[in-house]
Chains A and B, each alone.
Chain A
Amino acid sequence: MEDPPDVRPADRLSTLVDDVAAFGRRLRAEGLTVEPARLATFARAIALTSPEATYWVGRAVLVSRPADTPPYDRAFFAHYGAGFPTERTPMPRMVARVPDVALETPDGSASSTGTASVSPASRVEQLRYKRFELCTEEELARLGELMRELTWSMPPRRTRRRRSSRRGELDMARTLRRSMRPDGEAAGIQWHQRRLTPRRLVLLLDISGSMSAYSRALLIFAHAALSSDDGWEAFCFGTRLTRITGQLRTRTPDAALRAASEAVLDWDGGTRIGDAVKALVDGWGQTQVLRGAVVIVCSDGLDTGEPDLLAEQMDRLHRLSREVVWLNPLKGLVGYEPIAQGMAAAMPYIDLFATGDDLASLEALSQRLSAVRGRSRRPSH
């Protein structure tokens, strides 16, 4: 911005400037944000150093986060030539790990993942709208990583504790304490305010027979979501409720899924949603787990239990929690109406009814939830 370029002999200056400007265009074509000020710094920096340092000079000046390194490398070697002397260190692993997961097909078939012409970005784009039931194991694994990158910011709640702040209520205790130190001289009024904490997220996953095409994806989703906050909980149910929070706290998705499937005894059985919600509210409603939390139920709503029981229990759940979200994969199907008995019974107690059968819908959900913020739907007691 305010940095004028160096004053140097006119001819040398113009070649340098042309060269740097051309490099800048290439970087921008690769998608990096390169402000004029940075290019000016870069020009000045290469004038200070020998040519073999140019690669690292650019890395220091033009790149400012790990994700920018690969595009920088492409632009650099396209502009200065691959034979340019550099000593490259391997890229940060968090960057390097991402693109190659979907490339391997264990059976060696060159299926949709085997085509090298598809760029990683567009493959992500395709995966984003692919329904979970149609995904291969590898794609699910890749999805798991993408889900981890989703930021789940829950609507905040006020806590009992206060913290000092510049506005808010009068903090009498601190004001007095402050004026003790200088022996009674008034030392200025202190203020404090209630602290805000993000609400808890509780996941309730249907793993019954009718949901079997989705259950793996749901567990991967739960694993990814739980990794973003310590207090979050996950339960799953078919005919009975199982808490799988502990199992899903394992770091790798594979180990987590294995542990979870050992804990759950009723895979692919029938569905009794009402009983499951009852067990959840009975068992956890008195604790801090459900009160004021955001509850996400993932189920197709095909219930074999009593609709009345489900309605009653959903009402309890709705009153205890802050938001009840219901993700129903069937909702994505053309012409679907929530008329299945169970679904119809639960509908009045749902704040947000969404699809949740592909990554895009989960992304939309995470954005919706973080937008809930200050709205007060009902008294908190």
Chain B
Amino acid sequence: MTTSNVTPLRAPGFPDGISELDAALRQHSYIPDPGLSVALYLGLTMSRPILLEGAPGVGKTEVARTLSRMLGGPMIRLQCYEGIDASQALYEWDYARQMLQVRAWQQDNGNSGNSVAELYGPEFLLERPLLRAVRESGPRVLLIDELDRADDEFDAFLLEVLDDFGVTVPEIGRFTADEPPVVIITSNRTRELHDAIKRRCMYHWIDFPDVEREAQIIRLRAPGVDDELARSVAKAIAALRDMDLTKTPGATEAIDWARAMALLGASRAEGEAALATLGWVAKSREDMWKIRPMFDLPTG
């Protein structure tokens, strides 16, 4: 049911509908919630960026990794931080290399034909993630990670690039992507992103998974963990999330914890094995003290 003026991205292995996408993600070891599949499907078919928000450790970055595996293309990651600017996101001239080139030309002097224009050729261009995402072809995933960390001026800059996937390098010319990459933007909500960014994006809030899905995730990600242990870990983690902890455990912690207990040969998340591996879920002393009583044996 494709329509006239939407040009859907049709890479090999690209699923044809929401349920197909859901299945494909699962096949590549990611268990999406129903809303995520819809948001991803729309983002892919309508060539819109997908904005993912949620608590740390719910698997926002993992979505991008999974998509890149699914589409069979590279994942290009732009990690945002305070003070990031265009030269770190787009490109820089390799100044040192240009100087070396000039010196080399000076050595065999008189041998002209070497013009200054050559100094500003593509081989002296240091590609940064955004330019790379524009220049590469074929299926690829551009992950703009933790955009909320960048200053808000960066939003405006990004908007310009995301709008038409074109980057102008004055000395060379304009690069445009023949086919836009899949764009995943993540944010931890330390600040509200610019409205114009949000308007362009498909939005999805990734919540902590419920016990059922958590158990599935653990089973999938930690092959050595059996069903009983996975379920029991999922239950314990759900209980921990209801406690008022400094650091609420995410899916990552659940997986690590399950794996650790499996290595100790435990069959359920309780008693000594749970206590011994508590460091995988509790990341501060206060939390440790709060959680401890949950697993203490009644006898002592």
Contacts and interface: CB of A to CB of B under 8 A. Distances in A.
Given A250-B286, A251-B246, A48 B3 contact: yes
B18 A66 contact: no
B46 A48 contact: yes
Contacts of A65: 53, 189, 192, 198, 203
Contacts of B38: 49, 53, 56-57, 59-60
B39 interface: yes
A44 interface: yes
B148 to A, nearest CB: 12
Nearest to B51: A64
Best-buried of A38, A50, A53, A90 by chain B (most CB within 10 Å) = A53
A303 to B, nearest CB: 38
B18 A44 contact: no
A181 B6 contact: no
B4 A44 contact: no
Given A60-B42, A65-B192, A250-B286, A183 B210 contact: no
Contacts of A187: 95
Interface in A17-63: 33, 35, 37-38, 41, 44-45, 47-50, 53, 56-57, 59-61, 63
Contacts of B192: 65
Given A7-B5, A181-B95, A49 B18 contact: yes
A185 B99 contact: yes
A75 B49 CA distance: 25
Contacts of B171: none
B174 interface: no
A41 B198 CA distance: 13
B45 interface: yes
A90 B48 CA distance: 26
Interface in B7-47: 17-18, 33-35, 37-39, 41-43, 45-46
A64 B4 CA distance: 27
A252 interface: yes
A357 B205 CA distance: 37
Contacts of A53: 18, 38
B6 A89 contact: no
Interface in B181-212: 189, 192, 195, 198-199, 201-205, 207-208, 210
B1 A48 contact: yes
Main secondary structure of the interface of B (DSSP, over half): mixed
B244 A251 contact: yes
B111 interface: no
A45 B202 CA distance: 10
Given A44-B46, A48-B45, A56 B1 contact: no
B96 interface: yes
Given A44-B46, A61-B42, A64-B198, A92 B5 contact: no
Interface string A174-206: 000000011101010000000000000000000
A377 interface: no
A48 to B, nearest CB: 6
B266 to A, nearest CB: 29
Contacts of B203: 59-61, 63-65
B23 to A, nearest CB: 15
B115 interface: no
Given A6-B4, A49-B38, A60-B39, A41 B96 contact: no
B2 interface: yes
B6 A44 contact: yes
Interface in A89-143: 89-93
B46 A89 contact: no
A260 B192 CA distance: 34
A262 interface: no
A60 B35 contact: yes
Given A6-B5, A64-B201, A66-B205, A49 B41 contact: yes
A69 interface: yes
A49 B42 contact: yes
A131 to B, nearest CB: 28
A8 interface: yes
Contact of B42 (A7, A45, A64, A185): A45
A87 interface: yes
Contact of B34 (A48, A69, A89): A89
Contacts of A6: 3-6
Given A60-B204, A66-B53, A69-B205, A48 B42 contact: yes
B153 to A, nearest CB: 12
Contacts of B205: 66, 69, 92
Contacts of A49: 18, 38, 41-42
30 contacts: A6-B3, A6-B6, A7-B4, A44-B3, A44-B6, A44-B46, A47-B1, A48-B1, A48-B46, A49-B38, A49-B42, A53-B18, A56-B34, A56-B38, A59-B38, A63-B203, A64-B199, A64-B201, A87-B34, A89-B33, A90-B207, A91-B207, A92-B54, A92-B207, A183-B99, A185-B99, A251-B244, A251-B245, A251-B286, A252-B244
User: Ordered nearest first, which 5 A-B pairs have the shortest CB separation?
Assistant: A56-B38, A60-B39, A64-B198, A182-B99, A64-B203
Interface of B: 1-6, 17-18, 33-35, 37-39, 41-43, 45-46, 48, 51, 53-54, 83, 95-96, 99, 103, 189, 192, 195, 198-199, 201-205, 207-208, 210, 241, 244-246, 286
